[in-house]
Amino acid sequence: MSAQLIEGKKISDSIREEIKLEAERLKAEGTVPGLVVILVGEDPASQVYVRNKAKACEQLGYYSEVVRLPAETSQQELLELIGRYNRDDKVNGILVQLPLPKHIEEKAVIDAIAVEKDVDGFHPESVGNLMIGDDTLLPCTPAGVIELLKRTGNDPAGKHAVVIGRSNIVGKPVAMLLLREHATVTICHSRTPNLPEVARQADILVAAVGVPKLVKKEWVKPGAVVIDVGVNRLPDGKLCGDVDFDDVLDTAGWITPVPGGVGPMTITMLMANTLKAARRSRG
Ligand SMILES: Nc1nc(=O)c2c([nH]1)NC[C@@H]1CN(c3ccc(C(=O)N[C@@H](CCC(=O)O)C(=O)O)cc3)C=[N+]21
């Protein structure tokens, strides 16, 4: 039996319709959601993402700015720019595209973003809020994963979720969100012994390591939900996940494709966060 496809693109489109209606309501009350995306340097993959984010803003009628800065921009200049957007009432969300050039300290930049405009959910205060269960802007990719599960009827409550990867942007926050949704959560990484065996315990398996096609059918419990967060660019230019999709297809019960799975949800959750930040800004 072949797994059911989790169609991130379709689910994402229908959430964007919901967001659009809410954005129109907010605009009728005089508040236009606004997002600024700041890109330092010329990373080609980043260029694509930034363009997609600007397109999403346009589609939803948001105010949006894209700031493209040369790779030589100093940390001080970037921090000053962020300071200006922190004080700019037209802008409800500030996103600085990562990774940054090596001479700029990522942490200093993330810390400089006003927490109420932190639509990436990367600021230490946002992370702390998530940890203790306070209302906050959630990191986009992890929030997208939870939406995909809920909207396909795969409620994490009572399930064993195994997360492969422990990054601050995906692994750790997605584990925390799954815990909040009442899953039993195991976090694995490169030092985990018998990784395939642990993965095979999962009712919900989330792969977020950045190793192309790492997860094979032996890693998957028959019928499990497999969520592939990987975005690996292969030498031929094609996008590929952390899961060997073709190998796993007949074992998994549900599976996200790459592209068309988690990726589109990330941008949709960014739009949802910007809307939320705009709504809150009215006081
Ligand atoms: N501050 C910051 N926030 C981010 O959220 C952030 C970032 N930096 N740096 C880079 C990563 C990557 N990322 C993606 C967003 C959408 C797709 C996406 O829409 N992917 C499409 C395909 C796009 C394509 O074909 O290239 C898909 O999976 O279907 C992928 C990856 C956000 N990131």
Give a yes or no: residue 257 inside a domain: yes
Q: Is 150 in the same domain as 248?
A: yes
Ligand 1 centre from 187 Cα, in Å?
A: 23
Say how far apart CA 85 and CA 116 lie, in whole Å: 12
Q: pLDDT by residue (tens digit) across 226-273?
A: 999 999 999 998 999 999 999 999 999 999 999 999 999 999 999 999
Shared-domain flag, residues 205 and 255: yes
| CA-closest residue to ligand 1 atom 1 | 97
166 and 77 share one domain: no
Question: Do strands 254-255 and 225-228 pair parallel, antiparallel, or not at all (unpaired)?
Answer: parallel
Q: Is 45 within the bounds of a domain?
A: yes
CATH number at residue 242: 3.40.50.720
**pLDDT for 43:** 85
Atom of ligand 1 nearest to the CA of 45: 26
Q: What is the tens place of the pLDDT at every residue in 161-209?
A: 999 999 999 999 999 999 999 999 999 999 999 999 999 999 999 999 9
Q: Whose CA is nearest to atom 13 of ligand 1?
A: 49
Whether 69 contacts 39, CB under 8 Å? yes
In a domain? residue 130:
no
> How many whole angstroms from 19 Cα to the centroid of ligand 1?
19
pTM here is 0.97
- Same domain membership, residue 231 and residue 191: yes
φ, ψ dihedrals at 96, nearest 5°: -100, 115
Question: Which of 5, 39, 40, 49 has most ligand 1 atoms within 8 Å of its beta carbon, as the pocket-test mutant?
Answer: 49
Active site residue 89: no
Q: Is residue 231 part of an annotated ligand binding site? A: yes
On whether residue 20 sits in a domain, the answer given is no
ipTM of the complex: 0.96
Catalytic residue among 118, 120, 228, 242: 120
Residue 166 annotated as binding site: yes
**Continuous H helices in 61-182:** 75-86, 106-112, 124-132, 140-151, 171-180
Q: Is 196 helix (H, G, I), strand (E, B) or coil?
A: helix
Expressed in angstroms and rounded, the spacing between residue 147 Cα and the centre of ligand 1 is 17
Instruction: Report the C-alpha gap between 95 and 112 in whole angstroms.
Output: 11
Give the domain extent around 194: 140-263
- Is 53 tagged catalytic? yes
- Per the structure, the count of domains in the chain is 2
How far from the centroid of its chain's Cα atoms is residue 229's Cα? Answer: 9
Residue 7: inside a domain: no
Q: Is 165 annotated as a binding residue?
A: yes
* CATH number of the CATH domain containing 57: 3.40.50.10860
Asked if residue 133 belongs to a domain, the reply is: no
Q: Is 97 part of the annotated catalytic residue set?
A: yes
Domain boundary among 114, 132, 153: 114
Query: Angle of helix 262-281 relative to helix 44-60, nearest 10 degrees?
Result: 50
